[in-house]
A and B are shown apart, each in its own frame.
Chain A
Amino acid sequence: MTEPTHFPIEPERYELFEQPTRSFALSRRTFLEAVGAGVAVLVVTRDAHGLDGPAGADRAQDGIGAWLHIAEDGVVSVFTGKVEVGQDIRTSLTQAVAEELRVPPAAIRMVMGDTDRTPFDAGTFGSRTTPQMAPQLRRAAAAARTVLLQLAAERLGTGAGTLALADARVRDERTGRSVPIGELTRGERLVQTIPDGVATTPPAAWTMIGTSPPKVAGRDIVTGRHRYTSDLREPDMLIGKVLRPPAYGARLRSLDTSTARAIPGVVVVHDGGFAGVTAPDEMTAVRALAALRAEWDHTPQPSQHEIFEHFRRTASRRGEPAETGSVARGLAAADARVEATYTAAYIAHVPLEPRAALARWDDGKLTVWTGTQRPFGVRSELSRAFSIPESRVRVIMPDTGSAYGGKHTGDAAVEAARLARAAGRPVRLVWTREEEFDWAYFRPAGVVDVKSGARRDGTLTAWEFHNLNAGAAGLRMTYEVANQRVAFHPADSPLRHGSYRALAATLNTFARETNIDELAVALGMDPLALRLHNLREPRLRAVLEAAAERFGWTTWTPAPGRGIGIACGTEKGSHIATCAEVSAERATGQLRVERLVVAYECGAIVNPDGLHNQVEGAVIMGLGGALWEAIEFADGRILNGRLSDYRVPRLSDVPPIDIVLLDRKDLPSAGAGETPIIGVAPALGNAIFRATGRRLRGLPLAPGGVRFAENG
């Protein structure tokens, strides 16, 4: 078995512990010096993220996950290392604080993703902000509310029992006297952690959580005022460009920089395998880059047509979990068996704002603005790249033009900083769309082999499921089956691959839900009935039933060239069921998605409108990967790495989408940016089968339309 030699998977990083390499710089003593007088509440987390700092006096500052500060003018500032990439946590976290602190959202300022000002955070991915950060901030805000009530009791000379905080004022219910919170914090220098047993507002009493306030940064966005990284500028700033290899695996053999250097204002950097230019303006930088004469050594690379075979050749069998029961016996006991292979192509995130960074060096201290989901991780990357301590690196993340899991790394940051150091001036570097396609990482391609069996009444008897290369997310069998073996096998990836919205849960759900559909066909059972027969998990049953009901699954009337499909899945604590109706034209193979119904449940809903936006967005993104998106590559070259060659969903591609949100106020809120994507592909594939008689087992399903089966 060959060990992977090319690109290790960019880890599904939330499944790892990314230890901070340095504890947070501000001590509690210096904390107020940094933010000014007032009242501050620190969120101290007790997980491993914060407990590796030095022992002794500094210990108390370790493990700070966020903090909240009420200044002397009553302005509430919330500091968190989380970042905003369009999922609108700037608004939903504001709501969480507003709820507990009883202040209007407009009085709250979120300071996010700035490594010098916000506490360490491993990153914004894995749908963790809503289940983890939001409850912490609520507790901090509730603790701050208690402090404010105590201060007010002293000020008003009364017991805290008759005081109530509302609309940023503390009011004595008995006397009617009230005092704004800004007056209470004046002159105070209070810093405290969240006391044990702090009570947050119960769901039944929520007035802010569960509503849909206007997007916090909305006005700046519709007026074009918001500055993304690529919009930033510094006085004396230069434009940077990096020389890219012609293909994966190519190494720089020689470089002639003389022509480029002769262009006025151009600085050329050539450092080992890295080469780049800076120039006063974009046009000159482009010209200088083109003037670099490079020769490359090329190593042959696996191509698209052999990719699945390549995964089989290189897959690791290490760490395979033991079998539960006996798959062989389960298959022998089955009346129907389905053995099939499912695949997914590499696809690109295509964040509309490409990777970008602005880097500035001041006396050996490096400041980089960049769009990344992991500002602290990028700080570490920069620290390593330049052999400087992390205390000399500051990473600031402006609200960014989307990521979808594609911006975990600090490539542009390192490049801009390298060029800025050479040029001795700030450098802004924005990747072109072509660079973004060629040199960012992709969602992994993968192969899934499934063997399944069921008795005549539909009861599943065996399940064997092997995922090669794509990843372990969504791997677990959702249906009850006594005999099973489920495993993920890392393999060698010829292209750089990494996190993507919902990760491998898309392929794993596609494989599982398609296979179950095939079993239903083999058994002559209704696919919904077969699922419900084997599904115990009540939350998953609930979304499945809700989707089927809204869709009209049981009352649908078959028609030639039309078909319906259903699928469900659970991942990251939330539950999704998707129904699709498609039509196909026999003569042309043209496929049309007529409608989708999605039922989704992620616990208590924080912001219904924001949630609806996330669910719909994930479903639309899922249409592309399900139907047409695929990176084409040969011998290390990306063949369709531009937007004119790579089709992403547009308005005309979007069918009517009916979204049913189940609000479970009794359950903790899960993040919702990812999981809704996983039901799209299998629901469509299953619908296409019913419309055309053709079973499609590879993603994308129908890049060039769909052929009907001979007897379909």
Chain B
Amino acid sequence: MASSPLDLIVNGRRRTVEVDPATSLLLALRDTLDLTGSKYGCGEGQCGACTVLLDGRPVRSCITPVGSVGARPIVTIEGVANGEQLHPVQQAFLAENAMQCGYCTPGMVLSAVALLDRTPTPTGVEVTRAMDGNVCRCGTYSRIVAAIRRAAAARAEAGHD
């Protein structure tokens, strides 16, 4: 139960958190670093609202002990945009109005970013597989899929410049 200083790399910056290593990464991000974009939804990795990128891969931060992270870089929703320049996935979510209450959106955006980083032009099956762990209780799924398609197209176009 003892707290100990842990070095994390969050959104490209080294951050030290003084917490029990068994604390979830989600709690460390939210309560210690005040990075509240990652959300608590279920606490058992079922809803995806807490999704962050660890070494570029989407993980459920609510079931990831912060002590297990080590030196792997973490990207949260706060680190997706480049300053004021939104990431193409964020832009696409806005363009498609792919949200209602928005509580699932940070996790959705990060799952989508991870998908497109690995698979720039995903098939429908690949989109479903990548996004099925993220619950949107408001039911905006078709727009989320449309946003991913739009972002994929935008990135492909940008890649040809």
Contact = CB atoms under 8 A, between A and B. Distances in A.
A618 interface: yes
A282 B62 CA distance: 13
Interface string B79-108: 011000010001001100101111111100
A223 B77 contact: yes
B1 A652 contact: no
Contacts of A614: 100
A651 B42 contact: no
Among B34, B37, B131, B145, the most chain A Cβ lie within 10 Å of the Cβ of B37
A320 interface: no
Among A86, A227, A233, A644, the most chain B Cβ lie within 10 Å of the Cβ of A86
Contacts of B137: 350-352, 402, 404, 621, 648
Interface in B113-160: 127-128, 131-132, 134-145
B8 interface: no
B94 A223 contact: no
Given A86-B101, A218-B97, A643-B44, A650 B135 contact: yes
Interface in B24-83: 27, 30-31, 34-44, 46-47, 49, 76-78, 80-81
Interface stretch (A35-43, A209-217, A516-524): A209-217
B97 A212 contact: yes
B99 A218 contact: yes
Contacts of A351: 101, 137
A8 interface: no
A642 B42 CA distance: 7
Interface in A605-620: 609-610, 613-614, 616-620
Nearest to A86: B101
Nearest to A430: B40
B89 to A, nearest CB: 8
Interface string A651-674: 110100100000000000000000
Contacts of A613: 97, 100, 140, 143
Nearest to B147: A222
Interface residues of B, number: 57
B145 A215 contact: no
Interface residues of A, number: 60
B10 interface: no
Contacts of A657: 142
B101 A402 contact: yes
Nearest to B91: A222
B32 to A, nearest CB: 8
B26 to A, nearest CB: 10
Given A218-B94, A222-B109, A400 B101 contact: yes
Contacts of A350: 137
Contact of A223 (B30, B90, B141): B90
A221 interface: yes
B20 interface: yes
A218 B98 CA distance: 9
Contacts of B142: 616, 654, 657
Contacts of A649: 139
Contacts of B77: 222-224
A318 interface: no
A618 B139 CA distance: 7
Nearest to B79: A224
Nearest to A221: B102
B100 A617 contact: yes
Contact of A617 (B46, B127, B138, B145): B138
Nearest to B109: A222
B78 to A, nearest CB: 5
Given A222-B109, A350-B137, A651 B47 contact: no
Interface string A114-142: 00000000000000000000000000000
Interface string B1-32: 10000000000000000011011000100110
Nearest to A351: B137
A648 B37 CA distance: 23
Contacts of B143: 613
Contacts of A353: 39, 41, 101, 103
A637 interface: no
A92 interface: no
A322 to B, nearest CB: 41
B100 A87 contact: yes
A282 B42 contact: no
Contacts of B1: 283, 287
B5 to A, nearest CB: 15
A223 B144 CA distance: 16
A459 to B, nearest CB: 39
Contact of A88 (B49, B100, B105): B100
Among A228, A352, A654, the most chain B Cβ lie within 10 Å of the Cβ of A352
Nearest to B103: A401
Contact of A651 (B41, B80, B145): B145
A526 to B, nearest CB: 31
Among B135, B140, B142, the most chain A Cβ lie within 10 Å of the Cβ of B142
Interface string A387-400: 00000000000011
A199 B33 CA distance: 52
Among A222, A619, A649, the most chain B Cβ lie within 10 Å of the Cβ of A222
A262 to B, nearest CB: 14
A281 interface: yes
Nearest to B94: A218
Nearest to A657: B142
A581 to B, nearest CB: 17
A223 B99 contact: no
Contacts of A88: 100
Contact of A227 (B31, B36, B109): B36
B86 to A, nearest CB: 7
A224 B140 contact: no
Contacts of A70: none
Contacts of A618: 139
B76 A230 contact: no
Interface in A600-635: 609-610, 613-614, 616-621
A665 B90 CA distance: 34
A329 interface: no
A109 interface: no
A27 interface: no
B100 A402 contact: yes
A281 B31 contact: yes
B138 A86 contact: yes
Contact of A224 (B20, B22, B106, B132): B106
Given A215-B97, A225-B37, A230-B40, A616 B86 contact: no
Contacts of B36: 224, 227, 230-231
Given A228-B39, A430-B40, 9 more contacts: A224-B76, A225-B37, A230-B36, A282-B27, A350-B137, A401-B103, A613-B143, A643-B44, A644-B42
13 contacts: A212-B97, A222-B102, A223-B81, A224-B38, A281-B19, A281-B31, A401-B101, A402-B100, A619-B139, A620-B141, A621-B137, A621-B139, A650-B132
Interface of B: 1, 19-20, 22-23, 27, 30-31, 34-44, 46-47, 49, 76-78, 80-81, 86, 90, 93-94, 97, 99-106, 109, 127-128, 131-132, 134-145
Which 4 residue pairs across A and B have the least CB separation, nearest first? A224-B37, A86-B101, A401-B103, A620-B139
